[in-house]
Amino acid sequence: MAENIRLEVVTPQKSVVSEDVQIVVAPGTMGEFGVLVGHTPFLTTLKLGTVRYKDAGGTERYIFVSGGFAEALPDKVTILAESAERRTDIDAERARTALERAQQRLAEKRDDIDFVRARAALERAMHRLSVAETRKTM
Ligand code: ATP
């Protein structure tokens, strides 16, 4: 069996994942990419999306990431994200509230609303909900 690779997912607040895994698939801004042990080193930015990995026991796991950076080395993948949560740690109720708040802000069309910020909050909330509620979210 192939060797495992170390996966570290870190936010400014905490370490979200630190474990040996079989494969990591992440949402690069240039497209989704997969990393196995022995991968050629590279650095990329990430878009908002889902990091998937197969843990050492072969179970598929899902992490919401709000975008950030990934560094792949032959024996390690490090993901630095502004925010990240394991699927099982996502508070769906909180995401629904954030979604409604963002939708209201966008619907009001007031001049003092930061449209880009509201749109980004909306996308985070929608994706959190899709990760929390779907096992096979990409
Ligand atoms: P909210 O308006 O609910 O704070 P947000 O999208 O603005 O949502 P972020 O700025 O992405 O939140 O994240 C702030 C912190 O809260 C991060 O540590 C993030 O992991 C956590 N967080 C945000 N939403 C959720 C959620 N629905 N479930 C679990 N943790 C969350």
pLDDT at 137: 41
Count up the domains in the chain and report the number.
Answer: 2
Question: CATH number for the domain including 76?
Answer: 2.60.15.10
Burial class of residue 26, CB neighbours in 10 A (0-12, 13-18, 19+): buried
Q: Are residues 10 and 71 in the same domain?
A: yes
Here the tokens at position 47 are 């878009």
Residue list, ligand 1 pocket, CB within 6 Å = 13, 66, 83, 85, 89-91, 94-95, 98, 121, 124, 128
Please tell me the distance between residue 83's alpha carbon and the centre of ligand 1 in angstroms: 7
Query: Would you give the end-to-end CA distance of the chain in angstroms?
Result: 25
Average pLDDT of the chain, as a whole number:
93
- Give the pLDDT means over successive 10-residue stretches in the chain (138 positions): 91 97 97 94 97 96 97 97 96 97 89 88 97 67
Ligand 1 pocket test target in 11, 64, 94, 101 with most atoms within 8 Å of CB: 94
